[in-house]
Amino acid sequence: MKRSLNSASNPESKTKQQKLSSSKFDLKWKNHGDPIKNLYPLIYLDGPSVSSSTKIASFDLDDTLITTKSGKNFPTSVSDWKFLSSKVVAKLKSLYNEGYKLVIFTNQAGIEKKKLKLQDFQTKIIDIINELEIPMQVFISTGENIYRKPYINAWNFCVLQCNGSSVANLSESFYVGDAAGRPNGWAVGRKKDFSCSDRKFAKNIDIQFHTPEEFFDGAAPYLKFDWGSIDPVKALSDHSEDSFENICSNDVEMIIFVGSPAAGKSFFAKNYLEPKLYVIVNRDTLKTIEKCISLAEESLKNKKSVVIDNTNPSKEARKVFINLAKKYNVSVRCFYFQTPLELAHHLNMFRQVVSGGTIRRVPDVGFNTFKSKFQPPTKEEGFEIITINFFPKFHTNEEKALFLQWT
């Protein structure tokens, strides 16, 4: 389907609310998802002037469609932007006339971190669309949530809920972005890409991916990129199944976990120990170490086995529980999780998306804190050490499919 541009515009309004809607197209800002810290995780621009289509031409925003006028890495004001090149406008208008629906997917974690005002960013988007003179949908992930690329939840919401009766044809759709995993010096004077999230986003959707240079300038694809994270398909194929069916003791005992954030500890406790009536002691749930100690002691008093489901990186962190076990004359085992760091980072993102965002990712500072405090467990501390080569079990095919996405 070919279309022609309609340049008819509505009268401009002086109110803030109307300034946040397009003066040239009937586009309105909307919200989706459960609020996090009083902020919707997905905020999007849509309206009847955006026609549904089987062909989706989707783009990142910064350093893909626009760059700063000032030449600085980050904009200094709402108006500090310009199109990446004159080719951008011409190409987008050509795609529009060919019947593509034009969509922007952009990560803006600075909104949640209060480094970027949402209203300022919305105003900027409206200015860009008005200058393009093309109606577009825009989907903004406002923080480190499940709508953030390379997750595909924003894409799914776009094509399933905001595309009328049209079914997106993946073979005719594509995504363009600058976060492509290219190394320092990939072109003369060019720095390393800050991530590979745009390439991963397209890969997870299973659509074509292009960098801005390839799409707008006709540059040859750069193939020496780095995904920058674990290959989940390879990780799954390389995994050999361990059996933990006989891991529990018939006697009252204490198990102390040692492992980085997202190493699989809570999953292991929930699936292998809790069904055998072990009491799970977890600081994330109980909030304080004092409550952890109290629950552990109460359980041992009542002759119940206990699992200390914390990271327990240091000898000092483990000692308080070892002493408690000695007080009640029960044996102690240390389950030492050997989860590689790359896999832990992947699991960190996986559990956020598989939980629908109810479990938020552990920030990098959590991993760094564990590393700074870590002391390998030794039998001299007073326990038997069992190494755990953890890998998740999938309860559904949907969970497995989510694990196999790049993060």
Contacts of 171 by beta carbon, 8 Å cutoff, 6+ apart: none
- Residue 397's CATH number: 3.40.50.300
DSSP secondary structure string for all residues of 310-350: S---SHHHHHHHHHHHHHTT-EEEEEEE---HHHHHHHHHH
Q: Roughly what angle, to the nearest 10 degrees, separates helices 315-327 and 289-301?
A: 30
When divided into structural domains, the chain yields a total of: 2
Residue 139 φ/ψ, nearest 5 degrees: -120, 120
Based on the domain organization, do 117 and 153 belong to the same domain? yes
Based on the domain organization, do 56 and 204 belong to the same domain? yes
* Alpha-carbon gap, residue 138 to 61, rounded angstroms: 10
Q: Is the pLDDT of residue 14 over 60?
A: no
Q: Is the pLDDT of residue 353 over 50?
A: yes
Q: What angle do CA 159, 162, 166 make, to 5 degrees?
A: 60
Based on the domain organization, do 205 and 312 belong to the same domain? no
Q: Is the pLDDT of residue 194 over 50?
A: yes
Q: What is the pLDDT of residues 130-145, one digit of tens each?
A: 999 999 999 999 999 9
Based on the domain organization, do 32 and 158 belong to the same domain? yes
Average pLDDT over every residue of 385-392 = 93
* pLDDT at residue 21, rounded to an integer: 57
Based on the domain organization, do 159 and 247 belong to the same domain? no
Task: Identify whether 150 is preceded by a cis peptide bond (ω within 30 of 0).
Answer: yes
Could you list the beta-strand ranges (E) of 40-146.
Answer: 42-46, 56-59, 66-67, 82-83, 101-107, 137-141
Closest CA to 324 of 298, 363, 343: 298
Based on the domain organization, do 330 and 367 belong to the same domain? yes
Tokens in use for 229?
């994270």
* pLDDT at residue 11, rounded to an integer: 32
Q: What is the pLDDT of residues 258-306, one digit of tens each?
A: 999 999 999 999 999 999 999 999 999 999 999 999 999 999 999 999 9
Tokens in use for 400?
């497995």
- Residue 85's CATH number: 3.40.50.1000
pTM: 0.90
* pLDDT at residue 245, rounded to an integer: 82
Q: What is the DSSP letter of 170?
A: G
Task: Band the pLDDT of 256: cuts 50, 70, 90.
Answer: very high
Based on the domain organization, do 78 and 170 belong to the same domain? yes
* pLDDT at residue 130, rounded to an integer: 94
DSSP secondary structure string for all residues of 38-64: TB-SEEEEE-TTS---S-EEEE--BTT
Contacts of 27 by beta carbon, 8 Å cutoff, 6+ apart: 21, 45, 46, 47, 49, 50, 126, 129, 135
Based on the domain organization, do 200 and 122 belong to the same domain? yes
Based on the domain organization, do 264 and 189 belong to the same domain? no
Provide, rounded to the nearest whole percent, the portion of the chain with pLDDT above 70: 94
Task: Band the pLDDT of 242: cuts 50, 70, 90.
Answer: confident
For residues 191, 197, 200, 206, the Cα torsion angle rounded to the nearest 10 degrees is -110
Task: Band the pLDDT of 92: cuts 50, 70, 90.
Answer: very high
At 1 the three-state DSSP class reads coil
Based on the domain organization, do 207 and 253 belong to the same domain? no
* pLDDT at residue 392, rounded to an integer: 87
| Residue-range definition of the domain harbouring residue 166 | 28-217
Q: Are 137 and 162 in contact (CB under 8 A)?
A: yes
Instruction: Determine, yes or no, domain membership for 41.
Output: yes
Tokens in use for 265?
């500890």
Based on the domain organization, do 76 and 163 belong to the same domain? yes
Instruction: Determine, yes or no, domain membership for 33.
Output: yes
Q: Are 345 and 265 in contact (CB under 8 A)?
A: no
Mean pLDDT of the chain: 93
Pairing of strands 56-59, 101-107: parallel
Q: What is the pLDDT of residues 172-193, one digit of tens each?
A: 999 999 999 999 999 999 999 9
Identity at 382, one-letter amino acid code: G
Q: Is the pLDDT of residue 13 over 80?
A: no
Q: Are 236 and 404 in contact (CB under 8 A)?
A: yes
